């Protein structure tokens, strides 16, 4: 009975928070000095992190200048292969997206979150089919601990880019349209490098429709009154094929789990973070690594990140993905089962991020 009462009380707190439609920023603006209970991680989880030692290693940074020159491209493909197999993460510089486009995208996200609450409420929703939606924690009612972040999510359609540009908030409309075009082009470049790193033709992964459509998740992490007790984005791996992440320079928060230790991924001015998703680990038959990562919070803020997630043709209910035939040999047998994309993504959306481990379900 006591457990049932505690669960009911927690659910009431979650609903009350969600009903404000003001997000975590609303709590921050109210001048909180103490973290609300729904955001406090279990004591054993906090205590376990004291055992982790800081490692003096850094995620690879790859210079993409000269990527179309044959000799230089061979070097870049080798760097990408090594990073994708060992880290599952790397940063790219000289990637072709103007610095002004990156800065304006960050400014647009900041502008959206700095608006009056009544303006942001127009976009507040938990309907995952909406093209543009704003909320705090997509898995608020499934996760064990609420995360200290708000998110503006935007579905993008390959080819015509934004499905309905005028449905975007005016304050970030132009910057989002421009950034979306550039980041989709970069996604194609990176996917070509990854195809070659697998020993396949440049267009192989693109022809599999790995980049058909993408979604932007614009995360806003306000300053936190008790950051040692909270989390910005819980430990997870990305469900899709590929993620390209833009970070603002003000506050560091992204960490990747590497050899059992949390490694800070410091923002590089003009750089973008690339990481392998679960689907790419699956179709590469485990050759590429989809690494667990998280975002911590700080007393300083806000931290802003814009993740571009390439998850394939999500509206195709019958699309099937499995390990690429050309990568299967007697020495390298099939490691994963085939998946139906729509069922795979439904499982992801129905599970709290802190409990979701897609590759565990599909491993043979």
Residue 332 pLDDT more than 90?
yes
What backbone torsions phi and psi does residue 327 show, to the nearest 5 degrees? -95, -5
- Residues constituting the chain: 364
Cis peptide before 302 (omega within 30 of 0): yes
| Banded pLDDT at 347 (limits 50, 70, 90) | confident
Candidate from 56-70, 144-158, 292-306, 342-356 with smallest mean pLDDT: 342-356
pLDDT band at 356 (very low <50, low <70, confident <90, very high): low
Per-residue pLDDT, 3: 72
User: Poorest-confidence range of 42-51, 322-331, 350-359?
Assistant: 350-359
Q: How far apart are CA 151 and CA 130, in angstroms?
A: 14
Closest C-alpha among 282, 311, 296 to residue 219: 296
Q: Which residues, including other chains, have CB under 8 Å from residue 157's CB and lie 6 or more apart?
A: 163, 213
Higher pLDDT, 354 or 17: 17
- Alpha carbons 334 and 286: distance in angstroms, whole number: 9
Backbone torsion region of residue 288, taken as left when φ is above 0, otherwise alpha when ψ lies between -120 and 50, otherwise beta: beta
Q: Could you give the CA distance from residue 191 to residue 186 in angstroms, rounded to a whole number?
A: 8
CA dist 168 and 112 (Å) reads 10
- Residue 178 has a CB neighbour count (10 Å cut-off) of 18
**159 — phi, psi (to 5°)?**
100, -65
User: Is residue 160's pLDDT more than 60?
Assistant: no
Q: Is residue 195 within 8 Å of residue 201, measured between CB atoms? A: yes
- Given a contact cutoff of 8 angstroms between Cβ atoms, the answer to whether 280 and 313 are in contact is no
- Which neighbouring-strand residues pair with 216? 154, 308
Q: State residue 178 phi and psi, 5-degree precision.
A: -70, -45
**Global confidence as pTM:** 0.94
Q: At residue 122, what are phi and psi to the nearest 5 degrees?
A: -60, -25
Calculate what percentage of the chain has a pLDDT beyond 70.
Answer: 95
Secondary structure class of 320 (helix, strand, coil): strand
Q: State the pLDDT at residue 5.
A: 82
Average pLDDT over residues 66-90: 97
pLDDT of res. 96: 97
Alpha carbons 179 and 165: distance in angstroms, whole number: 13
Residue 52, pLDDT score:
58
- Collapse the DSSP code of 333 into the 3-class scheme (helix H, G, I; strand E, B; otherwise coil) and give the result: coil
Q: The tokens 């059992």 sit on which residue?
A: 260
Cβ atoms of residues 309 and 217 within 8 Å: yes
Q: What pLDDT, in 10s, does the model give residues 242-276? A: 999 999 987 889 999 999 899 999 999 899 999 99
* Residue range 2-362 in CATH 2.30.30.140: no
50, pLDDT greater than 80: no
Look over the chain and give the mean of its residue pLDDT values, rounded to a whole number. 91
pLDDT tens-digit series, residues 277-290: 999 999 999 999 99
Check residue 83 and give its pLDDT. 98
Distances (CA, A) of 99 to 94, 104, 224, 268, 270: 10, 9, 29, 12, 6
Tell me if 149 sits within 8 A of 88, measured CB to CB: no
Q: What residue segments make up the domains of the chain, in order of their start?
A: 2-362
């Amino acid at each position: 009975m006591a457990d049932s009462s505690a669960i009911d009380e927690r659910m009431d707190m979650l609903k009350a928070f969600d009903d404000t439609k003001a997000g975590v920023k609303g709590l921050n603006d109210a001048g909180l000095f103490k973290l609300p209970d729904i955001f406090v991680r279990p004591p054993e989880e906090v205590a376990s992190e004291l055992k982790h030692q800081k490692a003096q290693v850094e995620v690879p940074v790859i210079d993409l200048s000269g990527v179309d020159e044959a000799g230089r491209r061979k070097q870049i493909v080798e760097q990408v292969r090594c990073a994708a197999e060992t880290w599952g993460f790397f940063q790219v510089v000289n990637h072709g997206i103007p610095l002004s486009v990156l800065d304006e995208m960050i400014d647009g996200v900041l502008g959206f979150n700095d608006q009056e609450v009544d303006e942001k409420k127009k976009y507040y929703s938990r309907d995952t089919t909406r093209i543009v939606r704003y909320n705090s924690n997509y898995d608020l009612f499934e996760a064990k601990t609420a995360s200290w972040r708000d998110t503006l999510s935007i579905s993008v359609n390959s080819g015509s880019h934004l499905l309905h540009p005028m449905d975007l908030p005016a304050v970030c409309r132009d910057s989002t349209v421009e950034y979306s075009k550039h980041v989709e082009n970069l996604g194609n470049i990176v996917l070509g490098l990854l195809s070659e790193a697998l020993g396949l033709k440049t267009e192989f992964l693109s022809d599999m429709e790995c980049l058909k459509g993408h979604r932007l998740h614009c995360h806003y992490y306000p300053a936190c009154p008790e950051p040692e007790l909270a989390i910005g984005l819980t430990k997870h791996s990305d469900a899709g094929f590929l993620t390209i992440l833009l970070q603002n320079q003000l506050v560091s928060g992204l960490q990747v789990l590497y050899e059992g230790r949390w490694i800070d991924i410091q923002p590089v001015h003009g750089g973008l973070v690339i990481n392998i998703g679960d689907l790419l680990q699956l179709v590469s038959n485990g050759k590429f690594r989809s690494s667990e990562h998280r975002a911590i919070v700080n007393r300083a803020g806000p931290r802003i990140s814009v993740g571009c997630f390439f998850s394939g043709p999500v509206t195709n209910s019958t699309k099937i993905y499995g390990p690429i035939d050309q990568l299967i040999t007697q020495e390298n047998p099939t490691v994963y089962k085939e998946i139906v994309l729509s069922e795979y993504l439904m499982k992801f959306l129905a599970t709290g991020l802190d409990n979701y481990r897609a590759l565990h379900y599909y491993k043979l």
